[in-house]
A and B are shown apart, each in its own frame.
Chain A
Amino acid sequence: MVNEPLDLDEPFTVEVLESDGTTTVALTGELDAATMGVLQASLPPVAQGGELVLDLRRLAFMDSTGIRVLMSLDIRSRTEGWSLRIIRRPGAVQRVLDVCRVPERVLTVDEPAERG
């Protein structure tokens, strides 16, 4: 089991980058009930045929609140006709995703260039 340092107290931030039909949303800090609203307010619309990439490589913590956001995005992607991809961070965050079987529904990769 990977024991990465705990990035305690790092502020939660959302960085949105758009390029060639791909919107990358990079998260930093801790995603929980206190910060979920910040994420939801930051998520841009995604055009049909486009792609939303959630970059979790700098996310220090996520609980089922984050899982709910991911599942909501997954459902939206399927109904609105765009694709969703997660860039994983090995360790605690990925273990929560694995326990909740998120990779079975959402393409999850190690690097930005990977497309499964």
Chain B
Amino acid sequence: MKSAGDPLAELDKTLPAVPASVPRLRRAVTHFAATAGATSTVLEKLRLAVTEAVTNTVVHAYIDHDRPGSVHVTASVRDGSVHVTVSDDGRGMLPRVDSPGLGLGIPLIAQAADTFDVHQAAGGGSEMLMCFRLAG
């Protein structure tokens, strides 16, 4: 069985974009990073950032759809860092005047991750890329 320390190992999970998926994906990515040797300080930041990113998809990505779509999370280890992506095929980065949130999610991710990028995917939807140095 490949371990997170194996440079070829990768986490790849797709779940429904519903609230119950938030803790499941948080725990999956945290476990992956812990196995890869991330420090407790890094795990704390990663837990928060991944939670905010997945929640962002759950809350915003599929408001135009009749049913929630999916949220896709990957994690891999390269060059001493955990690279995490959170993506969806929902409405993309269209603004909302009726947002139920406080707008804290993106700033919290940017503050927690070493690097952070968010963009609209080529086929629609959004993709967030976060990077955390294993050693902090």
Contact = CB atoms under 8 A, between A and B. Distances in A.
B20 A63 contact: no
A91 to B, nearest CB: 8
B20 A64 contact: no
Q: Is the interface of B mostly helix, strand, loop or mixed?
A: helix
Interface stretch (A30-38, A50-58, A82-90): A30-38
Given A3-B40, A6-B47, A67-B104, 7 more contacts: A32-B26, A33-B55, A36-B19, A63-B48, A63-B105, A64-B108, A67-B102
A104 to B, nearest CB: 15
Interface in B18-58: 19-23, 26-27, 30, 40-41, 43-44, 47-48, 51-52, 55, 58
Interface residues of B, number: 26
Given A3-B41, A34-B23, A71 B108 contact: no
Interface stretch (A18-26, A92-100, A108-116): A92-100
B20 A61 contact: no
Q: Which of A9, A64, A71 has the most CB of B within 10 A?
A: A64
B102 A64 contact: yes
Interface of B: 19-23, 26-27, 30, 40-41, 43-44, 47-48, 51-52, 55, 58-59, 100-102, 104-105, 108, 111
A36 B51 CA distance: 13
Interface of A: 1, 3, 6, 8-9, 30, 32-37, 61, 63-65, 67-68, 71, 92, 95-96, 99-100
